[in-house]
Structure 1
Amino acid sequence: MTLPRRRFLHLAAGAAAWPVLPRVAGAQAWPSRPVRIMVGFPAGGATDIQARLMGQWLSDRLGQQFIVENRGGASGNIATEAVARAPADGYTLLQVVTPHAINAALYSNLGFDFIRDIAPVICAARLAYVVVVNPSVPVTTIPEFIAYARARPGEINYGSAGHGTPQNIACELFKMMAGVNLVHVPYRGGAPATSDLVGGHLHVIFSPVSESIEHIKAGKLRALAVTTAKRLDVLPDVPTVADFVPGYEASGFAGIGAPKNTPAEIIDLLNRELNAGLADTKIKTRIVELGGTVLGGTPAEFGTILTEAIDKWTKVIRFAGIKVE
């Protein structure tokens, strides 16, 4: 698949040039009624929590309710299609997360084109995964784990929230770069996979920090490394995978998108207000607790993050031969 990188970046950077004249009057009064933030995953997870943080901030700042609507299913594709088909009037937004970059390479028959149909607004945060093992696995570092796995090719299993999920892709990148043979055990969600890891039925998971940190603190799981380029404030003593596998990086992201052709005035206002929210101490602290690093920035910068992620994960998916069921 050839990704229209230049066209997407032009879309993000040139929002002012979009044809918005028929909507200018409405945009000036925006928001005059509640706004929906569509989240393609169940309530209670890190994606949902961050959407609600941003929604509450916008509600307080702009005087209208920003309501999170969870429409789960198909790795976020159901919610994405709903936003792609929504009127471009600023009243339907999308919580954009890592699976959106993965899905662009994983699915060939979607009812939308993410690059074409969703305009980036802001990337709120980078999200980390942490490599966690059951304490029964006799390793405490990534080099020890690599040696342990190489001595047992095909005997070490790793869990994930399912085929094509960020945990699956992050571990496949590790397998590719570290030269190890691990067996994938997909689950219907991250929680049951984590439960089985705690119970000793799995060896390792590349887990979202929010799903594993309490188990790490309780000593039920052992953290070997984080997948981001830098260490995390919430796990300061845990090294990065890249400390031992040079060049490895598998961070996620969370941000906001809108239907294409949403008036530039609305996107600019959202971007400005959300950047202000990301500077708020309470919001920053909560994002860090979830294993994130606050970013912010312009729509164009988010566009670059998205296209680079799509390029990267497309290569991993093709190399690993990952297919959805």
Structure 2
Amino acid sequence: MSVNRRALLRAATAGLFCGIVPRVFAQGRWPSHTVRIISPYGAGGPNDISARIIGQYVGHRLGQSFIVENRAGAGTRVANEYVAHASADGYTFLYAAAPYATLEALYGKLGYDPRKDLKPVAMTATVPLFLVVNAKLPVKTAQDLAAYGKSRPDGLTFGSPGNGSLPHLAAELFLREAGVKGVVVQYRGDAMAYTDLLAGRLDATLTAITVALPYIQSGKLRVLGVASSERSRIYPQAPTLREQGLSSVVASAWYGFMAPSGVPDAIVGRMDKEVNRALRDKDVRSKFILQGMEPHGTSAAEFGKFIDSEMVKWGDVIRNAHIKGD
């Protein structure tokens, strides 16, 4: 090889590495400063608490602070839109929740495109909904409840913590699947719904077990089943509604990380890996279960498919029940 050819080869090789190495190092330095996790709810709830648990674990692993910033409002739209338009540098993540998959069907056009402006990173947890009735009601199973509703001229009354909420949509799905007439009464939160349920003015509700458990233990409420694909580790004695012949009544709240769509795949992949590592940790898992959450890690691709399926499923329920966002 001539001297000139060697020189040209060295120059080409140097140019090649000049193009690649800085990008590799730039990705390898992430995170180099504080990462923000945007929660769509106020402090103290399961979304906020689980975000902090994961953030603390991942931050310790990566040597940077992962802080939770609460941006509540508009049924999670405030936080979703904020992160959708945030810088795609890997320092702002959304800790998304189940309404993410229902908002477009409820409200129409949003201030962001839920399919394009954010991308999935990793799912973290589900919160199964339990079918609960007043203990004085003469029913022991979900099928008993359906038969009871069919025997009454006005059918069943369900309580819901808010219009378009997952318990509302799950109740509509139950009524449709069971072939029962009924009405879902809307309240502002769980407290007032529970007041009427305990007083016998409502027949049933679908709820997180942590809210209902004190009343179940005191004998005032009865669990008929759980609306999840498998029995819950939190309350395994409750059979699934699928086991009781209501195959499509599967409804769980969920949480997971999402990022602005322009965040590099290398950062998404690293965050995906670290979040799933956290969810395999025994201490993290026990903290989740204590809060009524089922640890449920998935890859970014699996999480994306799950969100797509939730959009289709709940969009159908919303249209069939003629539900409009407030």
Measure the CA separation in 1 of the matches of 2:188 and 2:26: 42
Residue in 1 aligned with 2:82? 82
Measure the CA separation in 1 of the matches of 2:76 and 2:153: 34
Q: Residue type of the partner of 2:188? A: R
Say yes or no: does 1:43 pair with 2:43: yes
| Secondary structure at 2:269 match in 1 | helix
After superposition, the Cα gap between the structure-2 partners of 1:138 and 1:32, relative to the gap in structure 1 and judged at 3 Å, is same
> CA RMSD, aligned part only?
2.1
Percent identity over paired residues:
40
- Structure 2 unaligned runs (5+)? 1-20
Q: Residue type of the partner of 1:286? A: K
Measure the CA separation in 2 of the matches of 1:112 and 1:22: 33
User: Alpha-carbon deviations, 1:143-187, whole Å to 9, x = none?
Assistant: 211111111242532111211110011111111100112211111
Residue in 2 aligned with 1:299? 300
Residue in 1 aligned with 2:274? 273
1:24 touches 1:263 (CA, 8 Å); kept in 2? no
Alignment of 1:43-192 (within 5 A): 43-154=43-154, 156-192=156-192
**Once the 2 structures are TM-superposed, how far is the Cα of residue 85 of structure 1 from its aligned partner?**
0.9
- Structure 1 unaligned runs (5+)? 1-20
2:155 touches 2:180 (CA, 8 Å); kept in 1? no
Q: Residue type of the partner of 2:168? A: N
| Secondary structure at 1:229 match in 2 | coil
2:163 touches 2:186 (CA, 8 Å); kept in 1? yes
Say yes or no: does 1:314 pair with 2:310: no
After superposition, the Cα gap between the structure-2 partners of 1:61 and 1:195, relative to the gap in structure 1 and judged at 3 Å, is farther
Measure the CA separation in 1 of the matches of 2:42 and 2:193: 16
**Count of residue pairs brought into register by the alignment:** 306
**Once the 2 structures are TM-superposed, how far is the Cα of residue 38 of structure 1 from its aligned partner?**
1.1
After superposition, the Cα gap between the structure-2 partners of 1:218 and 1:282, relative to the gap in structure 1 and judged at 3 Å, is farther
Measure the CA separation in 2 of the matches of 1:192 and 1:26: 52
After superposition, the Cα gap between the structure-2 partners of 1:298 and 1:279, relative to the gap in structure 1 and judged at 3 Å, is same
* TM-score between both structures, scaled by the size of structure 2: 0.87
After superposition, the Cα gap between the structure-2 partners of 1:179 and 1:22, relative to the gap in structure 1 and judged at 3 Å, is farther
After superposition, the Cα gap between the structure-2 partners of 1:250 and 1:259, relative to the gap in structure 1 and judged at 3 Å, is same
**Once the 2 structures are TM-superposed, how far is the Cα of residue 43 of structure 1 from its aligned partner?**
2.1
Measure the CA separation in 2 of the matches of 1:265 and 1:116: 19
Moved more, 132-141 or 170-179: 132-141
After superposition, the Cα gap between the structure-2 partners of 1:41 and 1:200, relative to the gap in structure 1 and judged at 3 Å, is farther
Measure the CA separation in 1 of the matches of 2:66 and 2:194: 32
Measure the CA separation in 2 of the matches of 1:70 and 1:200: 36
Residue in 2 aligned with 1:228? 228
Q: Residue type of the partner of 2:298? A: G
Q: Residue type of the partner of 2:238? A: V
Residue in 2 aligned with 1:28? 28
Q: Residue type of the partner of 2:265? A: A
**Once the 2 structures are TM-superposed, how far is the Cα of residue 132 of structure 1 from its aligned partner?**
0.7
Measure the CA separation in 2 of the matches of 1:24 and 1:197: 58
| Secondary structure at 1:115 match in 2 | coil
Measure the CA separation in 1 of the matches of 2:234 and 2:27: 40
1:209 touches 1:290 (CA, 8 Å); kept in 2? no
Residue in 2 aligned with 1:5? none
After superposition, the Cα gap between the structure-2 partners of 1:37 and 1:190, relative to the gap in structure 1 and judged at 3 Å, is farther
Measure the CA separation in 1 of the matches of 2:27 and 2:166: 36
Measure the CA separation in 2 of the matches of 1:22 and 1:71: 35
**Once the 2 structures are TM-superposed, how far is the Cα of residue 279 of structure 1 from its aligned partner?**
0.4
| Secondary structure at 2:224 match in 1 | strand
Alignment of 1:203-218 (within 5 A): 203-218=203-218
